[in-house]
Structure 1
Amino acid sequence: MRFFLAIYCPLFFSDFDGHSIVFPKNGNSWVILSDIEQRIKRKIEAAGTPLKNWDIKIYRGILTGCNDAFIISKEKRDELIKKCPKSVNIIRPILRGRDIKRYSYDFAELYLIATFPSKKYNIDDYPAIKNYLLNFGKTDNEHLSKYGTDCWGKRRLEQSGNKGSRKKTHNKWFELQDSIAYWDDFSKPKIIFQEIVQEGQFMLDTKGEFFCNDTGRIITGKAIKFLVGILNSKLFFFAIKYFYGGGLLGESGVRMKHTFFEDFPCIKENIQIKTLVDEVLESKNITELSQKIDHKIYELYGLTNDECDFIENSN
């Protein structure tokens, strides 16, 4: 690889005077870095432990197979609970990727009918939800002309792989498409984030209140309050953007795929960062507090003023 690059790519390297190729020890893709970027990368890797070695778990959000049926409005939620109070047990607030912000969220008052296959629900125990799902989509004229009104929603929601239904699985017609074993983690304190971002957008759900759809991800485990400060920092975004990620999306977008950032070396849990995160969560104006977190993280990684300025001007 080194021979090929040096001999066959002279024009390519003419665009990168003052840069060097860095070949990661872990076998990841090589990157071209300037001297200051190399110094920053070395300091990050000397100071921390890769996130994949932390006591955390990262999971994808929920794939329903038909969001229009299983993600409902507050009005529909209230209607179902009024008809059958037991419905409240399997209807949970849900966030989409677009709802997730830096340390916060915009709740669109959407709710998930959380019929996870692994829970083995008897839909007859929830007659209001059963009736709603059986009648889902009756305004679709094409489907009406083919099947009539008999078991309309059941035909649309069955997981048979037939045309007009959901993809083939072994799950029942009223169940979500995902047969996930980690459904209980959504009810735990956790970090929720979306993948495609212009800046770090990680929020903390301390009460285990929210589920998220498949455009979001969750992180559970120890030290999540400290970690949300790290993950929202400019240093972390810079490192994923230039060292550990899959490259830019468009002019400034970054994909926060967990398989990219699990190699990020994170410093040990720090009480000062946790305290600042507490202040952020209680404050409406997070800009000044976020800057304090950024500066503390720079200090803990041993960065110089020049290196800090370089990161600030690169994001």
Structure 2
Amino acid sequence: MTEFTNSESWVVLSPIEKQIKDKIERIGTPLKDWDIRINYGIKTGFNDAFIIDGAKRKELIDEDPKSEEIIRPLLRGRDIKRYSYEFADIYLLFIPWHFPLHNDPTIKGASLKAEQEFGIQYPAVYKHLLKYKTKLSNRNKTETGIRYEWYALQRWGANYWEDFSKQKIAWNRIASEKLFSLVDEGIIIQDSMHFFTGNHLKFLCAILNSKLFSWFMYLIIGDTAGGNAGNSDNIRNLTIPKPNRELEIQIERLIKSEQYREIDKVVYKLYDISEQEIAFIDAQ
């Protein structure tokens, strides 16, 4: 038996588990060296104010068509499935710090000028948020009304918000089972998730969702839900071989036809997993 330390505790491995683990870690390039950056989703600080349904979206747009500019489709952790997602007609009021003057570098803290402009340019959304002003103002006391305005999101991805406009791989970082979804351009994800953008996304999604990696993630993380269970370190340290074009085309074709068991076979072969090892994993 072999012991190793994961993020939570000591894990005792059987010889065959160590054998498979060694193969996975020996083959490929760690994701942290794939020129990708793993980021958090958006944190509102008070979901009731910023997250709306389709009916409320329509109401705000009917009242002021300009409202549509800052209403974005939103995915929650529960919406993430393996490879795909289920959109629940939920939307986010995407309001950065100092909006709509967020591109003005001279604004360093909560700005009355920005608030006045917000009320003028987006009156329907501003009126909606006014109903929650007291609760919004009672968020993080060291920041709200000091570093940013009461009507702004608590964390809006200041250094990576443009990545939300790109296709991305997202997963629920606090769920016990890790499911990786290809998420379309323009969709915002909530802070219960991590995500990354970049190249080879379909290939990476297939590897991460494969039977081999589902088993491996359980091995190194376990079935405990929580923030550490799907933290970015566990993902960025996974080793995955960079594909040639032929392999990438094969994987994309199998995803399109939903031949996920065939993807498992390709991944087993990629990591030189023996028939005995496959039988062991499939039996788990």
TM-score for both structures, normalised by structure 2: 0.83
Alignment partners' CA distance in 2, 1:224 and 1:102: 14
Partner residue of 2:241? 267
Deviation at 1:118, TM superposition (A): 6.4
5+ long unaligned stretches in structure 2: 103-113
Alignment partners' CA distance in 2, 1:232 and 1:170: 40
Change (3 A) 1:28 1:82: closer
Partner residue of 1:155? 134
Alignment partners' CA distance in 2, 1:260 and 1:48: 16
Alignment partners' CA distance in 2, 1:309 and 1:263: 26
Deviation at 1:89, TM superposition (A): 0.9
5+ long unaligned stretches in structure 1: 1-18, 137-152
Alignment partners' CA distance in 2, 1:265 and 1:279: 23
Deviation at 1:113, TM superposition (A): 0.2
Change (3 A) 1:274 1:198: farther
Q: 1:256 aligns with which of 215, 226, 230?
A: 230
Would you say how many aligned residue pairs link Structure 1 and Structure 2? Answer: 265
Partner residue of 1:8? none
Q: 1:234 aligns with which of 205, 208, 211?
A: 211
Alignment partners' CA distance in 2, 1:190 and 1:273: 20
Change (3 A) 1:40 1:118: farther
Are positions 1:128 and 2:124 aligned together?
A: yes
Are positions 1:304 and 2:274 aligned together?
A: yes
Higher radius of gyration, 1 or 2? 1
Alignment partners' CA distance in 2, 1:36 and 1:210: 41
Q: Would you say the 8 A contact 1:239–1:264 is kept in 2? A: no
Greater RCO, 1 or 2 (C-alpha within 8 Å, sep 6+) = 2
Partner residue of 1:187? 165
Alignment partners' CA distance in 2, 1:105 and 1:86: 28
Q: Residues 1-315 of structure 1: matches in 2 within 5 Å? A: 19-22=1-4, 31-117=11-97, 120=102, 122-124=117-119, 125-134=121-130, 136=131, 153-158=132-137, 161=140, 170-181=147-158, 182-197=160-175, 199-205=177-183, 207-243=184-220, 245=221, 247-249=222-224, 255-271=229-245, 274-275=248-249, 277-279=251-253, 282-283=256-257, 286=258, 289-314=259-284
Alignment partners' CA distance in 1, 2:83 and 2:168: 12
Deviation at 1:199, TM superposition (A): 4.1
Letter in 2 for 1:211: I
Deviation at 1:102, TM superposition (A): 0.6
Deviation at 1:40, TM superposition (A): 0.9
Deviation at 1:74, TM superposition (A): 0.5
TM-score for both structures, normalised by structure 1: 0.76
Deviation at 1:190, TM superposition (A): 0.6
Q: Which runs of 4+ in 1 moved over 6 A?
A: none
Q: Would you say the 8 A contact 1:273–1:293 is kept in 2? A: no
Alignment partners' CA distance in 1, 2:80 and 2:62: 29
Deviations along 1:222-246, one digit per CA (max 9) or x if unpaired, are: 2212111111111112222213x3x
Partner residue of 1:146? none
Alignment partners' CA distance in 2, 1:237 and 1:167: 40
